Amino acid sequence: MVKLFCAIVGVAGSAFEVDIDEGASVAALKKKIKEEKPNKIQCDADELQLFLAKKDKGDGAWLKSKDLLRMRKGEIPNEVESRYMNEELEDPTDKICSKFPSTIPDGTIHVLVVVPEQGTSAPLVSDGGVFDRCISGAATVD
């Protein structure tokens, strides 16, 4: 089992953990995420977009949970969004073990979850445009 910390993009206070088998697929991860947040995610699991929360692609640094908090407060520039949402987990058949290293640093967010418009019941936050590309057209609370 691997413990992944996830955050729903644009939803304040949405960081949560998911335990999943390393041999499970990305499709199974989407289902686990939906099961973990049934009141906040009100769409089919396969409609979720998942992104590795890493700077750049490959060996980039993981998004630190403290940086996620700073983003919500608008303390980090808008470029952060484009720096952390470069690698989408789009193939539902990919295995978790092929996308995440065997050791993941503590205090980091591993998966950014984008819920389609009308697929969330939680109030959305704009964060000064940090997540606008991800939730364009979605209702926001400024």
Q: What is the CATH number of the domain that holds 74?
A: 3.10.20.90
Tell me the DSSP string of 41-71.
Answer: B-S-GGG-EEEE-BSSSSSPPBEEHHHHHHH
Is 134 inside any structural domain? no
Beta bridge partners of 16: 6
Is 67 inside any structural domain? yes
Q: What's the domain count of the chain?
A: 1
Residue 18: C-alpha distances to residues 80, 81, 119, 126, 142 (Å): 24, 22, 20, 25, 29
Residue 93 is predicted with a pLDDT of 94
Is 80 inside any structural domain? yes
Residue 103 is predicted with a pLDDT of 79
Is 139 inside any structural domain? no
Look up tokens 């964060």; give the residue: 127
Is 142 inside any structural domain? no
Residue 142 is predicted with a pLDDT of 46
C-alpha 53/C-alpha 7 separation (Å) is 9
Cβ atoms of 67 and 76 closer than 8 Å: yes
Residue 141: other Cβ atoms inside 10 A: 9
One digit per residue, pLDDT tens: the chain, 142 residues? 899 999 888 777 778 999 999 999 999 999 999 999 998 899 999 999 999 988 766 667 777 877 776 666 555 555 446 666 778 899 999 999 998 887 777 888 889 898 987 655 555 444 444 445 444 444 444 4
Instruction: Give the domain extent around 115.
Output: 2-129
Residue 128 is predicted with a pLDDT of 47
